[in-house]
Amino acid sequence: MTHIKNLSHKQKRPFQPAKLSKPRNFILPEIIANKQKSRCPLVVEIGAGKGMHALSFAKQNPDKHLIAIERTRNKFDAFFKMTQTQQLPNLTAVHADAIAWIVQAIGPNSLTRIYLLYPNPEQHNSNQQWLNMPFFEFLISRLQIGGEIILATNIEEYMDNAEQQADALWCLPAIRQEVPVNSQRTHFEIKYLARKEKCWQLTMTKPEGYQTRFDEWQAS
């Protein structure tokens, strides 16, 4: 790992990507392996569920390629079945743990956007919240300058913590907004808004000159 003295954040605990093994049946997607194709703007969704947002995004953004990752088998199977009925060459569905898969597959400065839509936090384990995890530094390193990380949740406490951590720990410019009541990105979002619950979105942008410990790290 390259040692960087002037990190752009205040996270002291380093993530250790070299200790993670490749996910089972790991195959590098063609969009990444093929350098000519990889020039297409690359987007990642972590926790794609049954793929509602992924399928919609791919249809609406034919000039971008979305890699949608889902860990749970039954959700992924439903998602993958939907991809087989639609011609969406700009969508790659991945069944894997997102952390291990991203470490192995995504190079530094590769992504234009990362979606974290309605993660299911363990209420009694705040360390499982994305912006509390050392891995978040690695995730930022995969993002291009000017790229965005978009987090959405219906849990106000989760959003409050994310907004505070984005500023105080990760030093990322961030904009918090209430999700419009007619938004329909995911099944969870539809359900929450139908129950008149408020949902929030935090859009974090990687600024010019941002430095992490992983800016030159890539899996061998």
Residue pointed to by tokens 């199977």: 77
CA nearest neighbour of 29 among 109, 115, 105, 86:
105
SS3 188: helix
pLDDT number for residue 220? 82
Ranges of residues in the chain with a pLDDT under 50 are 1-2
Residues near 124 by beta carbon (within 8 Å), at least 6 away in sequence: none
pLDDT number for residue 34? 84
In order of their start, the domains of the chain are 54-205 (3.40.50.150)
**How big, in percent rounded to 5, are the helix, strand and coil portions of the chain?**
35, 20, 45
pLDDT number for residue 125? 78
pLDDT number for residue 123? 63
pLDDT number for residue 72? 95
pLDDT number for residue 36? 57
Cα 166–Cα 167–Cα 172 angle in degrees, nearest 5:
65
In this prediction the pTM is: 0.95
Amino acid residing at 149: I
Strand order in the sheet with 111-117: 91-95, 65-70, 42-46, 111-117, 143-153, 200-205, 174-178
Q: What is the pLDDT of residues 40-53, one digit of tens each?
A: 899 999 999 999 99
